[in-house]
Structure 1
Amino acid sequence: AARAFERTTLCRVLREQNARWGSDDATFAAIRELAEPETVAIVTGQQAGLFTGPLFTLYKAWTAIAVARRVRACGIQAVPIFWIHSEDHDLAEVTGCGLLGRDGEWVELRYPTSAEEEGKPANALLLDERIEAVREALLRALPCSEFLPEIAALLRETYAPGVSLVEAFARTMARLHAETGLILLDPSDERIKRLMVPVLSRAVLEWSHLSEALRAESARLRARGYRPQIHPKRGSAFLFLLEEDRRRPLLWEDGRFVRRDGGSGFSAEELLEELAETPTRFSPNVALRPIVQDALLPTLVYVGGPSEIAYFAQLGPLYAALDLPQPQLCPRLSLTLVEPRPAELLARYGLALTDLFAGVAAIRQRLLERTLDDVRLFEDAHRAVADAVEKLRPLLRDAEPTLERPLERTKETMRRQIETLRQHYLQARARRDEVLSRQAQRLVLALAPQGMLQERAMNAFSFLARYGARLFRAIRDELEPDTRAHGVLFFSHSGEAGGPGAA
């Protein structure tokens, strides 16, 4: 039987939130659809990163939009929803971002937080005049293009003093996803929190069973050779308590739910009463959050990254214990965007994307090896020495068969010495050849910055400033959501795609 959802309150909150963030008519049409009992949700989510955070945040949204499009084509009403992790308290993760500067250099930006602000949930971090300096540093780093004035106007409106980090993120996401019908949701609203009370209360009553089920499933996965993504702590109550703008995990100790750092805590009855009276004081932990999300939303499909997809493998028993169906899972788009200049360098030097994770120094040496014909002289020297030594083998064997072993050791020693000379030569040339050094750095920073996939390190405005919204719109509108391999997309100076390929 179909489950009933409290759609009226949910959609009222969504209308208010999305109106505040500047969403367009397509989003409000999607919210009207969501109010209908047969509509399902295609859900994804992420923390509220600075200037939208890394590229994969957008890739999640695009995949949810594409899945909803696919489901609607099958005759099922479906809407994409982006659940903002507004209560995440890892500020180090959400207050920084990286991008390519106008000269191809890597630029790290960070909104500075005080010791007093550290540990606060993201929705409690109110931006002040510090954001203006960070925002202007971003705009100075971006290339001067026809798209820069529009980007500057957007970010000066969205990332401004007086709004929270979450509000700034939501406003920017709403603008970047105009005409897609993407619904943004901040679950920290008190009315949304009240909708969570039934499932959170059930988790309180059954915390011991849930904890044991999670530990057992984690052990079962380890026994099969999988590495669990969630590491349950003994006594964890699956809840955070929000006090003085700090999220503190609740544990079961000596018959009471207490904060990890101490305090009087609650009995089970007291905790249930507090949940019912002030639900805004509580939020689910990483294991319970997806379950709460799916208790509130008619989720058909959840779009997640690799780690999220992996930790859903541990959550089956928790869904079952709370009488909730686990949604279908869809991997988000995984993609490296290759601009014309890096594409030319990859082709010229015969490099693959995976080669770049070795780092700038290793790639610089690879480029040298492909451009220096005189490197072959070392190979010729090695062959000549090996051949000369090999001519001694019959003589040594006739004199004493055991002398063949020292012969092999001599050959290996000479091979290593010639290789050492080759390395010294290449390093000396590398120090002198600034062009190749710059090319190696440009390649690594553009395609594998910080030794990571581009999508995990680079901010979207690197590309929006160079190619405008056209590139992203083309990828989003043509995306097929069943591609599981990492893609590599080459495109022209105008931002027209030249076709994706496997990494």
Structure 2
Amino acid sequence: MPISTISYQQTGYFSNLICDYLDSKDSLSQFFGNFPSLENFKNQIEQKQNFSSESRATLVKALQNQYSSVPTSEETQNNIQSLLQENTFTITTGHQLNLFTGPLYFLYKIASVINLSEALKDNYPKQHFVPVYWMASEDHDFDEINYFNFENTKIQWSRNADGAVGRLDDKGLDKVFKTLGDSFGNSEQAQFLKNLFEEAYLKHDTLAQATRYLANELFKKYGLVIIDGDDASLKKAFIPYAEKELEENISFNKVTKTTKQLTDLGYQEQVHPREINLFYLTENRRERIIEREEVFYINDTDLSFSKEELFNELNNHPERFSPNALLRPLYQEVILPNLCYVGGGGELAYWFQLKDYFDAVAVPFPILLLRNSVLLVPSKLSKKLDSLGVSVSELFLKQHELKTKHTKRISEIEIDFSKQRTHLQQQFKDLYTLAKKTDASFLGAVAAQEKKQLNGLDHLEKRLLKAQKRKLVDELERLTKLQDILFPNQSLQERTKNFSEFYLEYGDRLFSEIKNNLDPLAHKFTILELQT
């Protein structure tokens, strides 16, 4: 399968922060620990070596309970059991509970942690590495996860939803199943997808259970371990950090300072810290905890606690306290023997806000790795691009830039007036020399005339380009149609399309080709041509 890469910087789709991180700019070094390279994992292993046997036992017991009704592979079972051993470490990614996995990059996140775990095992044979998917089951933004796109159609789960999304039941999913059944058709691959959806979403009680089943079915042969942080036994281990959060506002103070340092360098704030970065979680609500004059209020409710009452609540019911986006990374690192977090650009941006906070609470900061990004190019589209003489990498250009570049390439007449511009500037250089020998006021008149003449050339060039675009409109439309297919809504394919579109054509080969062709430490954007 043909494969090529381009730099993330070249794509134009990644922030300055991420591009500078990949370039290892010195100005960013204070905001992360070890840079993601094979040799740096040696230092990371040493930092995490003291993860306690008690914490390991708690983790394994929780995972065994979470997997109690999930038929899984020997590889995953062995990986869970291995977490009891002091030489076992995790490589973790997190993802929302998007309906039917949501956008394609879910696959790339999972492939990244699996492939990195395997690469580390080859390089550090005395250690064992477990790929982990952390389900964002406590998120409460249902509108972000209640749909997936299929062939330019939004297949959506409509219902009223409050509280943590992982606790939602399957109300209304039978209608979604009927819709996708009509859309997928009746091929062998379509039947697999329909069975997968039905088993996951119509035969499990909650969205978290459904998502675990789905991800397990897709990746269990690689030993993927799926963890749900909405677990009382795991949150019990987080109580000391939650108490500090409620009493000392450490995260607010540290993250606010770090965020200012990042914004002073010209980077955007990704997540805004609050004085208390914990939610109070009940069956149908997840609301912020707010302190006013030593009384703790639960936002938009009648509930309030004194400090003593709230700490008693935390110790008796830790499952009722839910970390927000800034505290969830700490929760993850406290309960997992984790070496590396694999995430998208937006995720890593808020991790950069956390380094000083981790140092303040004495928790090792993980290696941060940008997940693999991929453009899947069906071979039939690749052949059409070849016939136009256009490379796939050119499709990353903005559409107007792509049309301009291709017009200049195929035009029978030269549209670039650079030669004329250089010739004109040379003529005016001679006029400047003459002006200096006469009256100094003549210099201004020469400069004004030069500007007028150069603007005139620019105007003529634009008119000529516009005329050629009209003349070549048919070929340009073929080109932009191909770009629209591969970059829906002028966005990256991986942020829009669902895996089902490609699975219908390529079947299980889709997963094996993605897994086998992604290098998590290449730090490059991958272009993968799919052969029919």
Partner AA of 2:289 in structure 1:
L
| 2:153 corresponds to which of 79, 85, 107 | 107
Distance across 2 between alignment mates of 1:52 and 1:45 = 12
| 1:166 corresponds to which of 200, 208, 211 | 208
Identify if the C-alpha distance between structure 1 residues 111 and 436 changes in structure 2 by more than 3 Å, giving closer, same or farther.
Answer: farther
1:368 Cα shift? 6.2
Task: Give the structure 2 partner of residue 184 of structure 1.
Answer: 226
Task: Give the structure 2 partner of residue 492 of structure 1.
Answer: 531
Distance across 2 between alignment mates of 1:419 and 1:443 = 26
Residue range with higher mean Cα deviation, 3-12 or 57-66: 3-12
Distance across 2 between alignment mates of 1:113 and 1:364 = 43
Distance across 2 between alignment mates of 1:479 and 1:378 = 40
Identify if the C-alpha distance between structure 1 residues 349 and 93 changes in structure 2 by more than 3 Å, giving closer, same or farther.
Answer: farther
Q: Identity of counterpart residues, as a percentage?
A: 27
Identify if the C-alpha distance between structure 1 residues 108 and 254 changes in structure 2 by more than 3 Å, giving closer, same or farther.
Answer: same
Distance across 2 between alignment mates of 1:366 and 1:136 = 45
Task: Give the structure 1 partner of residue 50 of structure 2.
Answer: 2
| 1:92 corresponds to which of 143, 149, 164 | 143
Task: Give the structure 2 partner of residue 125 of structure 1.
Answer: 168
Identify if the C-alpha distance between structure 1 residues 427 and 109 changes in structure 2 by more than 3 Å, giving closer, same or farther.
Answer: farther
Partner AA of 2:233 in structure 1:
R
2:408–2:414 CA contact under 8 A, matched in 1 = no
Task: Give the structure 2 partner of residue 40 of structure 1.
Answer: 89
Distance across 2 between alignment mates of 1:378 and 1:309 = 43
Q: Does 1:465 align with 2:504?
A: yes
Distance across 2 between alignment mates of 1:92 and 1:414 = 52
1:298 Cα shift? 1.0
Identify if the C-alpha distance between structure 1 residues 410 and 467 changes in structure 2 by more than 3 Å, giving closer, same or farther.
Answer: same
TM-score, normalization: structure 1? 0.81
Partner AA of 1:445 in structure 2:
I
Distance across 1 between alignment mates of 2:391 and 2:519 = 27
| 1:215 corresponds to which of 256, 276, 297 | 256
1:334 Cα shift? 1.7
1:357–1:452 CA contact under 8 A, matched in 2 = no
Query: What are the within-5 Å matches in structure 2 for residues 200-349 of structure 1?
Result: 200-205=242-247, 207-233=248-274, 236-243=275-282, 245-261=284-300, 263-347=302-386, 348-349=388-389
Gaps of 5+ in 2: 1-48, 435-441
Distance across 1 between alignment mates of 2:153 and 2:297 = 43
Task: Give the structure 1 partner of residue 6 of structure 2.
Answer: none
Distance across 2 between alignment mates of 1:18 and 1:62 = 21
Partner AA of 1:87 in structure 2:
E
Distance across 2 between alignment mates of 1:12 and 1:422 = 71
Query: Equivalent residue of 2:221, what SS?
Result: coil
| 1:197 corresponds to which of 221, 239, 242 | 239
1:364–1:437 CA contact under 8 A, matched in 2 = no
1:83 Cα shift? 0.7
Deviations 1:127-148 (A, max 9, x none): 224x233334345445775422
Identify if the C-alpha distance between structure 1 residues 442 and 295 changes in structure 2 by more than 3 Å, giving closer, same or farther.
Answer: same
1:44–1:64 CA contact under 8 A, matched in 2 = yes
| 1:353 corresponds to which of 390, 393, 409 | 393
TM-score, normalization: structure 2? 0.77
Identify if the C-alpha distance between structure 1 residues 312 and 427 changes in structure 2 by more than 3 Å, giving closer, same or farther.
Answer: same
Number of residue pairs matched by the alignment: 466
Deviations 1:2-47 (A, max 9, x none): 1314333422331232343432221111111112233211111111
Partner AA of 2:135 in structure 1:
I
Distance across 2 between alignment mates of 1:281 and 1:209 = 21
Distance across 2 between alignment mates of 1:327 and 1:409 = 55
Distance across 1 between alignment mates of 2:410 and 2:200 = 48
Task: Give the structure 2 partner of residue 64 of structure 1.
Answer: 113
Identify if the C-alpha distance between structure 1 residues 412 and 322 changes in structure 2 by more than 3 Å, giving closer, same or farther.
Answer: closer
Distance across 1 between alignment mates of 2:323 and 2:128 = 29
Identify if the C-alpha distance between structure 1 residues 492 and 217 changes in structure 2 by more than 3 Å, giving closer, same or farther.
Answer: same
Distance across 2 between alignment mates of 1:363 and 1:21 = 49
Task: Give the structure 2 partner of residue 449 of structure 1.
Answer: 488
Residue range with higher mean Cα deviation, 76-85 or 21-30: 21-30
Identify if the C-alpha distance between structure 1 residues 43 and 368 changes in structure 2 by more than 3 Å, giving closer, same or farther.
Answer: same
2:518–2:526 CA contact under 8 A, matched in 1 = no
Distance across 1 between alignment mates of 2:185 and 2:164 = 33
2:102–2:148 CA contact under 8 A, matched in 1 = yes
Identify if the C-alpha distance between structure 1 residues 178 and 88 changes in structure 2 by more than 3 Å, giving closer, same or farther.
Answer: same
1:289 Cα shift? 0.7
Gaps of 5+ in 1: 494-503
Identify if the C-alpha distance between structure 1 residues 450 and 269 changes in structure 2 by more than 3 Å, giving closer, same or farther.
Answer: farther
Deviations 1:61-117 (A, max 9, x none): 111112221222212022111110001112121112224x3xxxx232222233xx2
Identify if the C-alpha distance between structure 1 residues 409 and 329 changes in structure 2 by more than 3 Å, giving closer, same or farther.
Answer: closer
| 1:134 corresponds to which of 163, 170, 176 | 176
Query: Equivalent residue of 2:276, what SS?
Result: strand
1:365–1:426 CA contact under 8 A, matched in 2 = no
1:64–1:303 CA contact under 8 A, matched in 2 = yes
Distance across 2 between alignment mates of 1:148 and 1:409 = 63
Q: Higher relative contact order by CA 8 Å / sep ≥ 6: 1 or 2?
A: 2
Query: Equivalent residue of 1:480, what SS?
Result: coil
Distance across 2 between alignment mates of 1:226 and 1:452 = 22
Task: Give the structure 2 partner of residue 501 of structure 1.
Answer: none
Distance across 2 between alignment mates of 1:405 and 1:9 = 77
2:296–2:304 CA contact under 8 A, matched in 1 = yes
Partner AA of 2:327 in structure 1:
L
1:261 Cα shift? 3.8
1:416 Cα shift? 6.5
2:407–2:469 CA contact under 8 A, matched in 1 = no
